[in-house]
Amino acid sequence: MLEGGGTQMISTSNLDALFHPQSIAMIGASNQRNKWGYRILSNIVLGRYEGRIFPINPSEQHICGLNVYPSILDVPEPVDMALIVVPVPAVSRVIDECLAKGVRAAILITAGFGEIGPEGRLMEAELARRARRGGMIFTGPNCNGIISTPNHLYAMMLTTFPKFAQGGSVSMVTQSGNIGLSMLTRGVQNRVGFSKYVSSGNEACLRTEELIEYFGEDPESRVILTYIEGVKDGRRLFEACRRVGPKKPILLFKSGKTKGGAGAAQSHTGSIAGSNEIFDALCRQTGVIRCGQLDEMFDLAAAFQRQPLPRGPRVGIITSGGGWGVLTSDACEARGLEVGALSAETIGELDRRLPAWWSRNNPIDLVAGTGNRYELFKDCIDLLFGRDEVDAIILSGIGSTLLEQAQEGYVLNETEKQMIAVETTLADLIADAIARYRRPIIPQTDLNAHANPAENPLFKRLNDMGIMVLPDPERAAAVLGAMHRRHRYLERLA
Amino acid sequence: MLEGGGTQMISTSNLDALFHPQSIAMIGASNQRNKWGYRILSNIVLGRYEGRIFPINPSEQHICGLNVYPSILDVPEPVDMALIVVPVPAVSRVIDECLAKGVRAAILITAGFGEIGPEGRLMEAELARRARRGGMIFTGPNCNGIISTPNHLYAMMLTTFPKFAQGGSVSMVTQSGNIGLSMLTRGVQNRVGFSKYVSSGNEACLRTEELIEYFGEDPESRVILTYIEGVKDGRRLFEACRRVGPKKPILLFKSGKTKGGAGAAQSHTGSIAGSNEIFDALCRQTGVIRCGQLDEMFDLAAAFQRQPLPRGPRVGIITSGGGWGVLTSDACEARGLEVGALSAETIGELDRRLPAWWSRNNPIDLVAGTGNRYELFKDCIDLLFGRDEVDAIILSGIGSTLLEQAQEGYVLNETEKQMIAVETTLADLIADAIARYRRPIIPQTDLNAHANPAENPLFKRLNDMGIMVLPDPERAAAVLGAMHRRHRYLERLA
């Protein structure tokens, strides 16, 4: 049983109805292509949602090929979940009708409540009380929908159908629909799969803390993301994080840190930002990972979903460019990782494989000109992990054979094609080594210098295997730093 | 007159010979396509360098259609500049031959000197002494070449010809060729033009500090970038920055900040990293902008080249997504900028143009659904700048009409095509407002969520006009923060 934002207790079955409804009513459905009542509905249909869908509109007969009902009360079957896009003045009546129909969960898209001012806050609080009392929860108002990939449910405000290529085990609750959309879209680009997504908007009823608890118990959710502008029940959030934190990584982005940001948050979702220091303390005490940038939150989601945790702070850096080795060392040490010396024996082994002028230590600089001999990468990984020299490896500067080829109009010759084919085998080598040694290998390259990284065969292959290529040394080190801290946190608990 | 790393004085005419040579000898030229002696030479030829080129190789007749000479001493004409790619043991003799020929400047690509150990350091120091004494300078050893766009000179180690689309006014000296290449390639992608580029490698002879001085006097260089792993003459660097800083922005990236990074730097370019705190002090005292990330360095290069400085800390944020407004406010205030309230009069003017539920303050949230009415952006900019409400504007979340269209296989309908055409006009609106108000406007959007931003018509158009789109709020705020600090620095000097 969960205690919600209203006065009544709700059951997790309400949230089950949100994510796994057998039937949905779309209240405010429309045939006008530029209206959310059309777009959201068509997204649900195109997403191949397998349950029943009932569009509600008093003056239409068919929308998206479906029968339309004048009111939810006219639907001849039970309705588990309702999507509401009607204008503000109609919302109260619609909520009552949903309650009368026995709906267990709703998505209140409509904006114009608490984010406008005190009157709107009173209105939405009253709606929440009434809903909870009647055994219903809702997310929003002022939100952009939900996604539940196990159920093919894409109930999202999007202008076109989102090709969310694959389901996965990342689940997110976000107070900003745009920030959430940013994470979802990155997921599509980088093949990081989501299980569930909730835009919680003003959180009049359903709140971040409840969803974190739910995701904590949900076997389909393995990594939890949350974007927070303000919290209504800090104690409850703390308790939720304390319970879930040991089980699953929680990645939290809290905005409204500054005076200006807090003001903006209030007019965005009606949130009271609260003290930044208290948030830091909450994160420290519960093992929550507080992200400072959206990039970081996404990078970590990808890494926690795919890579094993490092069992210590020792990082080996293998690079085909000396400058990158220097930057990566700096970035690792700034995050509490160690780029330590290698044993004399390992250096001796490497001496037998690398040209005389290699760096003879960590970072292992494969030196310009040898960077394409990919068996060297394999030898280095096997030596570093096999001899337990390091807990994690960053492969820096990979995939650059194609860097300049991407220049328009250039035609590859046979040698170059061969080089690229060899280069691409590195992807399987990395995946294999991660599995064999159960240690993380973070591929990193200067993505910003690639004209079209999405077309690079090596990056594509890594992408297919769910291994994200980090675009610069800072972000690669940030990933390993956070994974290392997670490992230490779990060790302390054990 | 410049005092160099050797014992002798050299004249700026040596550097003129490096960047504007009438003739070049390529010593170690080759017909083998995988050798630098071929690649660098072919880059010079393909780059349409207009001076004379003399390939040197004792056993070839023709390379790239040019006559080959057995030794530089056999060249029947004067040689201004020499490129050297011969193996380590031959370098000393080649330097002597260059001196005998009266060469004024050389590029010593060959690696295997100071970065290997003490013996190599002695060797390269001796070469530098001999060169300076003979009136010659050289960059390197262990470097990847130079570029001088006014002279179409692309003397670079690259596997294929680089299409450096345009010249410009950014000049760079870098101790890491890879980091330099990263900046150059970003320049190509983002149409940020370079004037001069020098990879200084181990800096046995020609040093960062001399090049900063030279760029300071060079009318073609307006923004100076430098990547430093270690400094041989800190006092000289300080003096160079003190002299040049008031005239031109110097963007400095110093690595080797941590113990691991410093060790890596030593085996990379033989650099002694020096104290991180001393570097910070140097930057503070000379107005040098120390960049913490490569992204930042590039973003600032683009901004300083194209945007006017803000004359104060006040930022107006115009966004089509509330969450972005919150993040941008946070990011601005964290950098000492102010996201202040708007005057009642301006709010009144905006009330007349925006829907009732707009945020009614700064950030100006144009609200989902109105984001494509681009005349609203114009109205907002005119009100904010025209009524002197702010010193700079961040336009957040632009160009997202195409965000989901980029999904493969989606066909635009007429309405959508129309929306995109309207959206694209924003580029000219921004360029026009920057010119009219002489205040910076930073366009920002969630580039990481775009499948193919390079194909977005709005971003392309901005790119064509040299206006860089920043990919997230942090980077947009970092640009304005640094520009604001630059303005304050210049004010204090005046």
| Tens digits of residue pLDDT in A323-337 | 899 999 999 999 999
B123 CB within 8 Å of a chain A CB: no
Q: Do B324 and A157 touch (CB under 8 A)?
A: no
pLDDT at B408: 58
Q: Is the pLDDT of residue A2 over 60?
A: no
Portion 51-80 of B in contact with A at CB < 8 A:
none
Q: Is the pLDDT of residue B367 over 80?
A: no
A325 CB within 8 Å of a chain B CB: yes
- Quote the mean pLDDT of chain A: 89
Portion 17-46 of A in contact with B at CB < 8 A:
33-34
**Which pLDDT band holds residue B413 (cuts at 50, 70, 90)?**
confident
Q: Residue A162 is nearest to which of B317, B404, B450, comparing CB atoms?
A: B404
Portion 172-201 of A in contact with B at CB < 8 A:
174-179, 181-182, 185-186, 188-189
Q: Do A229 and B323 touch (CB under 8 A)?
A: yes
Closest to A320 (Cα-Cα) out of A162, A192, A426: A426
**Which pLDDT band holds residue B453 (cuts at 50, 70, 90)?**
confident
pLDDT at B272: 66
Mutate to test the interface with B, among A178, A254, A296 (most CBs of B within 10 A): A178
Give B489 to chain A, closest Cα distance, Å.
25
B259 CB within 8 Å of a chain A CB: yes
Q: Is the pLDDT of residue A238 over 60?
A: yes
Spatial separation of the C-alpha atoms in residues B267 and B230, rounded to whole Å: 12
Contact residues on chain A for B313, CB-CB shorter than 8 A: none
Contact residues on chain A for B116, CB-CB shorter than 8 A: 357
Q: Is the pLDDT of residue B262 over 90?
A: no
A62 against B355, higher pLDDT:
A62
pLDDT at A408: 58
Contact residues on chain B for A326, CB-CB shorter than 8 A: 176, 229, 255-256, 261, 264-265, 268
Q: Is the pLDDT of residue A338 over 50?
A: yes
Spatial separation of the C-alpha atoms in residues A370 and A355, rounded to whole Å: 8
CATH number of B308-493: 3.40.50.261
pLDDT at B268: 73
B431 against B234, higher pLDDT:
B431
Closest to B379 (Cα-Cα) out of B348, B420, B343, B350: B350
B386 against B7, higher pLDDT:
B386
**Which pLDDT band holds residue B407 (cuts at 50, 70, 90)?**
low
CB atoms under 10 Å from CB of B479, counted, come to 25
Lookup result for tokens 């407002």: B433
Closest to B64 (Cα-Cα) out of B18, B24, B105, B104: B24
Contact residues on chain A for B449, CB-CB shorter than 8 A: 181-182, 185-186, 189
Closest-CA residue of chain B to A329 = B261
CATH number of A2-304: 3.40.50.261
Give the model confidence (pLDDT) of A70-114 as tens digits. 999 999 999 999 999 999 999 999 999 999 999 999 999 999 999
Q: Is the pLDDT of residue A494 over 90?
A: no
B384 CB within 8 Å of a chain A CB: no
pLDDT at A213: 95
Asked if residues A204 and A140 have their Cβ atoms less than 8 Å apart, the reply is yes
B238 by DSSP, 3-state: which?
helix
Contact residues on chain A for B357, CB-CB shorter than 8 A: 111-112, 115-116
Q: Is the pLDDT of residue A194 over 50?
A: yes
Spatial separation of the C-alpha atoms in residues A141 and A122, rounded to whole Å: 13
CB atoms under 10 Å from CB of A485, counted, come to 16
Q: Residue A333 is nearest to which of B188, B261, B401, comparing CB atoms?
A: B261
Q: Residue A258 is nearest to which of B325, B329, B407, comparing CB atoms?
A: B329
Report the range of poorest mean pLDDT among A259-263, A272-276, B5-9. B5-9
pLDDT at B1: 37
**Which pLDDT band holds residue B46 (cuts at 50, 70, 90)?**
confident
Q: Do A163 and B449 touch (CB under 8 A)?
A: no
Contact residues on chain B for A449, CB-CB shorter than 8 A: 181-182, 185-186, 189
Spatial separation of the C-alpha atoms in residues A405 and A416, rounded to whole Å: 9
Q: Do A330 and B472 touch (CB under 8 A)?
A: no
Closest-CA residue of chain A to B199 = A323
* Helices assigned H by DSSP within A47-135: 88-101, 118-133
Segment B5-34 mean pLDDT: 85
Spatial separation of the C-alpha atoms in residues B63 and B291, rounded to whole Å: 42
Segment A174-182 mean pLDDT: 91
Percent of chain B clearing pLDDT 70 (strictly above): 93
Contact residues on chain B for A110, CB-CB shorter than 8 A: none
Contact residues on chain A for B407, CB-CB shorter than 8 A: 160-163, 188
pLDDT at A277: 83
Q: Residue B255 is nearest to which of A188, A330, A340, comparing CB atoms?
A: A330
Q: Do A261 and B157 touch (CB under 8 A)?
A: no
Spatial separation of the C-alpha atoms in residues B172 and B177, rounded to whole Å: 11
Give A154 to chain B, closest Cα distance, Å.
14
Spatial separation of the C-alpha atoms in residues A382 and A376, rounded to whole Å: 10
Q: Is the pLDDT of residue B371 over 80?
A: no
- DSSP 8-class letter at B401: G
Cis omega (within 30 of 0) for bond into B249: no
pLDDT at B410: 65
Name the burial class of residue A209, with classes exposed (0-12), middle (13-18) and buried (19+) by CB atoms within 10 angstroms of its CB. Answer: buried
Closest-CA residue of chain B to A299 = B448
Segment B198-225 mean pLDDT: 96
Mutate to test the interface with B, among A160, A161, A271, A326 (most CBs of B within 10 A): A326
The tokens describing B89, both together, are 């043991």
Q: Do B268 and A359 touch (CB under 8 A)?
A: yes
Q: Residue B268 is nearest to which of A185, A323, A451, comparing CB atoms?
A: A323
Closest to A436 (Cα-Cα) out of A315, A308, A312: A308
Q: Where in chain B is CATH 3.40.50.261? A: 2-304, 308-493
Spatial separation of the C-alpha atoms in residues B314 and B329, rounded to whole Å: 11
pLDDT at B139: 97
Of A419-433, B53-67, B275-289, B348-362, which one has max mean pLDDT? B53-67
Give A434 to chain B, closest Cα distance, Å.
25
Task: Say how many CA atoms lie within 13 Å of B150 toward its Cβ.
Answer: 15
Segment B398-412 mean pLDDT: 63
Q: Residue B323 is nearest to which of A268, A404, A472, comparing CB atoms?
A: A268
Portion 77-116 of B in contact with A at CB < 8 A:
111-112, 115-116
A204 by DSSP, 3-state: which?
coil
**Which pLDDT band holds residue A169 (cuts at 50, 70, 90)?**
very high
Task: Say how many CA atoms lie within 13 Å of A155 toward its Cβ.
Answer: 34
Give the model confidence (pLDDT) of A363-381 as tens digits. 998 865 554 567 888 999 9
Contact residues on chain B for A295, CB-CB shorter than 8 A: 448, 472
Contact residues on chain A for B472, CB-CB shorter than 8 A: 293-295
* Helices assigned H by DSSP within A352-404: 375-386
Lookup result for tokens 């990566």: A328
Q: Do B258 and A410 touch (CB under 8 A)?
A: no
Percent of chain A clearing pLDDT 70 (strictly above): 93
Helices (H) and strands (E) in chain B, counts: 16, 20
Q: Is the pLDDT of residue B412 over 90?
A: no
Q: Is the pLDDT of residue A263 over 90?
A: no
Taking CA atoms, A3 is separated from A12, A203, B459, in Å, by 10, 14, 47
Q: Residue B258 is nearest to which of A112, A181, A330, comparing CB atoms?
A: A330
Q: Residue B361 is nearest to which of A186, A229, A267, comparing CB atoms?
A: A267
**Which pLDDT band holds residue A480 (cuts at 50, 70, 90)?**
very high
B414 CB within 8 Å of a chain A CB: no
Q: Is the pLDDT of residue A8 over 60?
A: no
Q: Is the pLDDT of residue A6 over 50?
A: no
Spatial separation of the C-alpha atoms in residues B130 and B153, rounded to whole Å: 26
CB atoms under 10 Å from CB of B278, counted, come to 12
Segment B488-492 mean pLDDT: 95
Which element (helix H / strand E) includes A458? helix A457-464
Which element (helix H / strand E) includes B27? strand B23-27
Asked if residues B201 and B141 have their Cβ atoms less than 8 Å apart, the reply is yes
Q: Do A329 and B260 touch (CB under 8 A)?
A: yes
Q: Is the pLDDT of residue B57 over 70?
A: yes
